[in-house]
Chains A and B, each alone.
Chain A
């Protein structure tokens, strides 16, 4: 099982994402923004940071990187893709997920441990959680306010595609307290908080983030046996 982790200029969390992949027994494979080769990976993590300095809009330039063309093609073919923070912004700009992230209400960079509710446990990245489980993982961003057209939000809610929702306070003014969503086929997930920073009690507030990475092992295994 190989999990690819992309590095763009300005990516920050590729090292922690690779560490999280190894923590669940997967092989972490580095993917380079300028190389369209996905190196035989079974799943891809688009990690957080400030790709291309967030110039223009967060994720707006990264979506044109050669590696993203390959990720979009692979995702359309069913490969599990996880976008965390800036990675979520990139997946939205790339059209794999609907909506966009805006500047936080209050204009502050928010960095804290955040409670989330797991609302959909049928995505490639959440099968190891119990539905309705509350998990504690860090959130750290300034452009985290999820927004989409009223019609898109209605569709996401009706189809159960809100995967993670903020509980115990909304840190950024995100519509309907949305912290993370998934694609219609439930293979592509994006969220603003950082599961890769919560994989052991020594370095994070919990190990709740591990469930995300264990889940994708199951998702790719079932693909192989199907």
Chain B
């Protein structure tokens, strides 16, 4: 078994109002110096060893993200 992490994040040109709400809230909470926040999704997958990188990329691209608005990164963290 391997542990795979997929991070999905809005593309740079896509307006992210959730990230903006967070960055605006930080100074009110006393945290200064944070210039920008982008909010995305983090997936942790437990996969059999025979699942190859091409399959993982296909899962990330065709289902976990929407390529119109999001980029993704696939990482194997344990195997």
The interface of chain A, by Cβ under 8 A from chain B, is 56-57, 60, 93, 98-100, 102-107, 147-149, 173
In the bound complex, how far is the Cα of B17 from the Cα of A56, in angstroms? Answer: 18
The smallest C-beta distance from B6 to any residue of chain A, in angstroms, reads 12
Q: Which residue of B lies closest to A99 (CB)?
A: B68
Contact across chains for B66 and A60 when beta carbons are under 8 A apart: yes
> A56-B64, A57-B66 are contacts. A107–B14 as well, Cβ < 8 Å?
no
Report which of A56, A100, A105 forms a contact with B68, defined as CB distance below 8 A. A100
- Range, interface on chain B: 10 to 19
Contact across chains for A106 and B68 when beta carbons are under 8 A apart: no
The answer to whether B1 has its CB under 8 Å from any CB of chain A is no
| Interchain Cβ contacts under 8 Å between A and B, 26 examples | A56-B63, A56-B64, A57-B66, A60-B63, A60-B66, A93-B66, A98-B68, A99-B68, A100-B66, A100-B68, A100-B69, A102-B14, A102-B15, A102-B69, A104-B17, A105-B17, A106-B17, A107-B17, A107-B18, A107-B21, A147-B14, A147-B68, A147-B69, A148-B68, A149-B68, A173-B17
In the bound complex, how far is the Cα of B66 from the Cα of A173, in angstroms? Answer: 19
In the bound complex, how far is the Cα of B21 from the Cα of A173, in angstroms? Answer: 16
Residues of B within 8 A of A104 (CB): 17
Residues of B within 8 A of A98 (CB): 68
Best-buried of A60, A102, A107 by chain B (most CB within 10 Å): A102
The smallest C-beta distance from B15 to any residue of chain A, in angstroms, reads 7
In the bound complex, how far is the Cα of B63 from the Cα of A148, in angstroms? Answer: 18
In the bound complex, how far is the Cα of B78 from the Cα of A78, in angstroms? Answer: 48
Q: Which residue of B lies closest to A175 (CB)?
A: B15
In the bound complex, how far is the Cα of B15 from the Cα of A99, in angstroms? Answer: 15
